[in-house]
Amino acid sequence: MSLRPSLLCAGDQVAVVAPAGRVELQRVSPALDLLRSWGLEVLTGPTVGSRYFQFSADDDTRFADLRFALEHPSVKAVFCARGGYGLVRLLPRLQALAGTLTPRWVVGYSDITALHSLINCTYGWQSVHGPMPAGFEPGPEHAQSWELLRQMLFSGQASCLVPPHPLNRFGSASGVLTGGNLSVLHGLTGTPFFPSVKPRILFLEEVGEAMYHVDRMMLNLKLSGVLSGLSGLIVGGMTDMKDDASVFGKDACAIIREHVEEYDYPVIFGFPAGHDALNRPLLMGAECSLEVGQSGVVLSFP
């Protein structure tokens, strides 16, 4: 049974760090103001606003900043400022911290998938696949995403209803929710950091990938036995996907549906989480149940 960090309350201290790609302080300032409006005391790590080529800082600095946030006794939640690339470079050193840390919320998505996998499977905590400060923009869907995040962190509200999708496969399932960005998971296959808990309900989302590469990554998951071992599959946003001049012939959802056709577990498409304006937070590493029917989908957490 994984550990669920304590809910937040007004007056709690939280940290914002950039453990992967670089991000300007002014880009995250609106989200920092929002966190303060929730009554939180916000610490900003030195990686926020700094720059080292495409990264926010060198590996040592990014590790030290994230470690500080994970170890500080007063920090109740760690918000990753953005994704990008770079978290995977820190995994061996982060793995060595297992057993020495007190559970706290870690929030992020995209490249932060690697951190969720480590936290869920090695630290034994639950975490939140959800919106990040660098992606905060005006508009009702962004506002809804952050309000849902606030409700999850302060009130524990995680269950949701999702409209039906024509590619859905009906059924019921239960298991531990794992996964995240397809490209990051593809890069973790065959390593100790791939989420290996069972039974599991796998969540996948992606952005900006070519169709043939989606096919390649799904084949990787299939040939490595990941897809056959699931109890359910949730497909989130497949955002700004592209095709090349030769034309693959199927979109991302059709490719994924093809590669799970032989299995009998429920599959849902179009879950509102990923690189879209509406990025519904998900409780990763937590036991959940999935009910997929003609009228829609119920995802619930005990």
The answer to whether 205 touches 214, Cβ cutoff 8 Å, is no
Q: Are 184 and 111 within 8 A, CB to CB?
A: yes
Cα four-point dihedral sign 235, 114, 61, 97: positive
- Give yes or no: 137 in active site: no
CA distance 182 to 219: 12
Q: What is the 3-state secondary structure (H, E, C) of 259-270?
A: HCCCCCCCEECC
Count of CB atoms situated within 10 Å of the CB of 54:
11
Catalytic residue among 117, 142, 205, 209: 205
Give every CB contact of residue 61 below 8 A, 6+ residues apart in sequence: 46, 47, 50, 52
For residues 95 and 53, give the distance between their C-alpha atoms in angstroms, rounded to a whole number. Answer: 25
CA 254 to chain CA centroid, Å, is 22
Classify residue 38 by burial, with Cβ atoms within 10 Å: 0-12, 13-18, 19+.
middle
**Active site annotation includes 275:** yes
**Token pair 């951190």: residue:** 115
Find the catalytic residue in 56, 110, 117, 145. 110
Reply yes or no on whether 213 is catalytic.
no
- Strand residues in the chain grouped as ranges (E): 13-17, 41-44, 75-80, 105-108, 127-129, 160-162, 171-181, 200-207, 232-239, 267-268, 282-284, 287-293, 296-300
Active site residues: 110, 205, 275
